[in-house]
């Protein structure tokens, strides 16, 4: 078995990442206010340990990788909007304005002079051998 465990957000530049982090601080606050679990979030640091201790695999290992591609504002925005917790809030009736999506899009689209012109996905792959 191979599990791809991506670290969000992709490394871009600090303005993109600050906007992303601010959006997801709002997502976290709204989720807490609901008082119910709307999207389960596993602790990434426990993934390989959980796979190793589940009793199904005789061997588990994690390796780290990255992939770099040209920085694309629309793709970066799309990555943020595809996250489960954010999507769950939309399904629960929160507006894009309440969640901070409109502000996030405006912030990303207003960034003019990007020092780094690449976006790097950092991820680990966890291998389990039966």
Q: Read out DSSP for 102-119?
A: HHHHHHHHH----S--EE
**pLDDT tens digits in sequence order for the chain, 130 residues long:** 998 888 889 988 889 999 999 999 999 999 988 887 776 667 778 888 888 899 999 999 999 999 999 988 999 999 999 998 899 999 999 999 999 999 999 999 999 876 668 899 999 999 999 9
Q: What is the pLDDT of residue 115?
A: 66
Q: What is the pLDDT of residue 17?
A: 93
Domain that holds residue 16: 2-129
Domain count for the chain? 1
Contact 13, 115 (CB under 8 A): yes
Q: What is the pLDDT of residue 58?
A: 94
Contact 30, 36 (CB under 8 A): no
β-pairing verdict for 2-11 and 59-70: unpaired
Closest CA to 104 of 70, 71, 74: 74
3-state helix, strand, coil in the chain (%, to 5): 50, 25, 25
């Amino acid at each position: 078995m191979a599990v791809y465990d991506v670290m969000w957000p992709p490394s871009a530049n600090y303005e993109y990442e600050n906007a992303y982090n601010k959006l997801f601080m709002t997502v976290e606050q709204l989720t807490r206010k609901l008082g119910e679990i709307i999207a389960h979030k596993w602790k990434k640091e426990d993934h390989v340990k959980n796979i190793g201790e589940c009793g199904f695999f005789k061997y588990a290992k994690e390796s780290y990788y990255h992939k770099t591609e040209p920085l694309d504002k629309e793709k970066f925005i799309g990555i943020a909007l595809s996250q489960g917790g954010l999507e769950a809030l939309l399904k629960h009736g929160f507006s894009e304005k309440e969640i901070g999506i409109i502000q996030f899009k405006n912030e990303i689209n207003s960034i003019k002079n990007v020092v780094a012109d690449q976006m790097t996905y950092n991820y680990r792959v966890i291998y389990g051998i039966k």
